[in-house]
Amino acid sequence: MPPRNPPPPPGLVIVDKDRGPTSHDVVGKLRRIMGTRKVGHAGTLDPMATGVLVVGIERATKLLGHLSLDTKAYTATVRLGVATTTDDAEGDPLGEPVPVDVTEDRIRAATAVLTGDIEQVPSAVSAVKIDGKRAYQRVRDGETVDIPARPVTVSTFDLLAVRRDGPFLDLDVTVDCSSGTYVRALARDLGAALGVGGHLTALRRTRVGPFTLDHARTVEQLAESPGLSLDLATAVATAFPRVDVDDAAATDVRIGRSLPPAGITGTYGVFGPDGAALALMADRGRSSRPVVVLDPAG
């Protein structure tokens, strides 16, 4: 039997996802490209969306549930003139198109109302769970879905350009928002506020947490030249506050022991004298305890 190839080093791959594949599809391709089954993703992107998808390789998959991906940034195109069943271009039109005759001032006023701390009703085909079942699955099963509004923060909802396409107006916008915000719901609500209906026709995620398109490569580029975007130590140092410890403390961390508190709020990365990322830890009263050990002893 020929020897197995050694597993790839742990770290993050920041993918610039194409339109069409699901996030799960991307993970499947990365498993083949990177030569390991230990691949996972954080911050799901819809099939129609492109841009930043954070993928963990080997031990870095343990980071995914702890990454601070609470803010995201997008560029998007909103079509005014008709709403759809899915709030995006993949849904069926809700009624006939309406000729759009609204000024940029009215559009900017409406986006301003949708900026800040707002209550947003997610799209009916979102992944929000209702009584343990995804909303989109309930819609596919023919159920009527009533999703309650939830608080989100839209830091930026800026109009970049307006283009006419027949009876429609296409708006190029940028959005900075909290995790859990649905940009297609913003498109829906903007169209409703202007009385003409609206839906999303294009969406590109340019940033999730600290990870941007500057870090990203397409699946095709990765297939030609496999490799990490950030090794494990760089990924931890990018996403978390850093604490360096000596050899004795590093040994304790590797076997899951507590350390004296670091005086840092939230989760932070602990690094050994050699620069290796040992663990994610968090202060708990009079000690710092491992959240996840990344470089265990043995």
- pLDDT by residue for the chain (298 residues), tens digit each? 444 567 899 999 999 999 999 999 999 999 999 999 999 999 888 888 999 999 999 999 999 988 878 899 999 999 999 999 889 998 889 989 988 999 999 999 999 999 999 999 988 766 665 566 565 565 555 566 677 899 999 999 999 999 999 999 999 999 999 988 999 999 999 999 999 999 999 999 999 999 999 999 999 999 999 999 999 999 999 999 999 999 999 999 999 999 999 999 999 999 999 999 999 999 999 999 999 999 987 6
**Of 131, 160, 156, residue with least CA distance to 146:** 131
Structure tokens at 57: 């390789």
Residue 269 in contact with residue 240, Cβ under 8 Å?
Answer: yes
In 3D space, the residue among 130, 131, 193 whose CA is nearest the CA of residue 157 turns out to be 193
Concerning whether 246 is annotated as a catalytic residue, the answer is no
Give the phi and the psi of residue 274 in degrees, each rounded to 5: -85, 5
Locate the domains of the chain by residue range: 11-68+210-233, 71-206, 240-293
Q: Which residue has the tokens 């609206």?
A: 198
Among 158, 162, 129, 165, residue whose Cα is nearest residue 145: 129
What digits encode the pLDDT tens for the residues 239-292? 999 999 999 999 999 999 999 999 999 999 999 999 999 999 999 999 999 999
What CATH fold (topology level) applies to the domain 240-293?
Answer: 2.30.130
Architecture of domain 71-206: 2-Layer Sandwich (3.30)
Cβ atoms of residues 281 and 259 within 8 Å: yes
Q: What's 11-68+210-233's CATH class?
A: alpha beta
The answer to whether domain 11-68+210-233 and domain 71-206 are alike in fold is: yes
Question: pLDDT tens across 78-97, in order?
Answer: 999 999 988 999 888 998 99
pTM for the full predicted model: 0.88
**Among 46, 87, 88, 189, the one annotated catalytic:** 46
